[in-house]
Amino acid sequence: MEGPYQHEASDSAYQFTKAAIAKGHEILRVFFYQDGVLNSNKLMDPQADDRHIRKQWSALAIENNIDFIVCVAAAKRRGINDTVIAEGFKIGGLGMLTELAIEADRLVTFRA
């Protein structure tokens, strides 16, 4: 629910997802909501000495074949659309979050 550089929520969610996969847990989907949609912006260009959280997320999605869904309503408010969304991310609606909550054993939220 948080952008990549405002709070540690994005880093915590990334590390949690990575650790869960390493422990053999199945991650059905990661849903990016509110300012969290900013994590999907391929135009993000941090300085060389800073971590590149979007690249980390993209690699995690691709390597593990996980759906990373960006909330369409939150994305539109923040200028995120199909032309700026990074590899590994897809735009979707809140219905996908609802489906996820029904399918999954656990739903974990990260925010400031």
Rounded to whole angstroms, how far apart are CA atoms 110 and 36?
9
Rounded to whole angstroms, how far apart are CA atoms 2 and 111?
6
Largest CA distance in the chain: 41
Residue 92: phi and psi, rounded to 5, are: -155, 175
Beta partners for 29? 67
Q: Which residues are catalytic?
A: 71
